[in-house]
Amino acid sequence: MRHLTFSDKSFLTFYPKLAEFLGTKVHKNHITVPSALGKGYFDMISLGDEIYASVEDYTIKQDLQFTRKKVKDPFFILLFDEMQTDQAYMVRLDGELIKAKGHTITGAMFTCSLFDLSYVLPAHTHKRSIIVMLTKEWVKKYMNLGVEDEEICNNYFSLKAQHLNTEPFNAEYRRYFNQVFDIPKDKPLRELHIRNAIMMLIEVFFVRLHKKKVALKNTPARKMSANDLYKLMEVEHMLVKDFSKAPPTIVDLASYTSMSVSKLKSVFKQVYGSGIYEYYQKNRMQKAKSMLLTQSHTVKEVGLKLGYTNLSNFSLAFKKEFGVLPSQL
């Protein structure tokens, strides 16, 4: 197993180490995964003020281990992640071993450099990630966090169990996350569009973090097992992975998760903020909007690609979501 240990505060210094670890070089802030190791890429994106993000989409052929050693001068790490693997995904956070089960794991994770972090990616894992290293000064400047909100972050870091400090994707996360990876390579000002989408992801995360703080003052959080949360992540992925086909029935999803129909409906709404089919339809319409805005598809093509045989139904659904017909974009 290959093992990379690092403690870098910026991708400017981490990328050369990563490239050497993979057996290649950095070219114009881009790393291509060597064919002997797998396929895919790592792109370093500037967010301004010497803050960088790493956009990663790759599949590996062998086990890889990454260990980030803690440092005294704290900084934040915000990770938006979608990972597909048939094996257990192991994470060790500040000495505590966490095992993630499930074929697909998606979510946003917020950690701090004050903790050691080590994780193993099993062979044949497919991973799409957006990782941002943020200084405390940057977070305070752009996210308008006061002293009280800094305490929220500290409390958030102290939640060691992964199912507590992982925020599952909702429709907003999914929209901007997919946007980063769907922007064509030849699109003018591509990096600017990617940067804007990443900034929106960061904003969505901190807004939701603030809302959670307010909600927890009034209502204690309902406990949920790690296994249930990972199953919900898989359900979410099953709903949005292919809109050309009808989504699984709620009965089938309940059977897959070993939950009753009523429990699945309840916990899904608790985590994702809407009903199962409402969530599916919202993401379906967001996909339609993204496709239409590229101006590479006709309304008919988009409707058919998203599983509509009746284009009038597609137009009505689109107008219900966005207030305009798809032909008016």
> For position 164, what pLDDT does the model report?
40
Question: What pTM, to 2 d.p., does this model score?
Answer: 0.80
Residues 134 and 69 occupy one common structural domain:
yes
Residues 254 and 279 occupy one common structural domain:
yes
Q: Is the pLDDT of residue 22 over 80?
A: yes
Which of 218, 246, 281 finishes a domain? 218
Q: Is the pLDDT of residue 163 over 60?
A: no
Q: Which of 87-96, 159-168, 224-233, 264-273 has the highest mean pLDDT?
A: 264-273
Residues 144 and 290 occupy one common structural domain:
no
| CATH code for the domain in which residue 311 is found | 1.10.10.60
d(CA 104, CA 108): 14
Pair 221, 229: CB distance under 8 Å? no
Q: Domain range for residue 27?
A: 2-218
Q: Tell me the average pLDDT across 256-261.
A: 92
Beta strand residue intervals within the chain, DSSP E:
2-6, 30-32, 38-48, 51-60, 64-68, 76-84, 89-93, 96-100, 104-112, 117-121, 126-134, 166-167
Q: Is the pLDDT of residue 278 over 90?
A: yes
Over residues 2-15, the pLDDT tens digits come to: 999 999 999 999 99
Side-chain-facing half-sphere of 87: CA atoms under 13 Å: 12
Which of 191, 218, 245 finishes a domain? 218
Residues 212 and 239 occupy one common structural domain:
no
Q: Tell me the average pLDDT across 45-52.
A: 91
Quick one: which of 144, 75, 61 has its CA closest to 111? 75
Residues 146 and 278 occupy one common structural domain:
no
Query: Structure tokens of 162?
Result: 């992964």
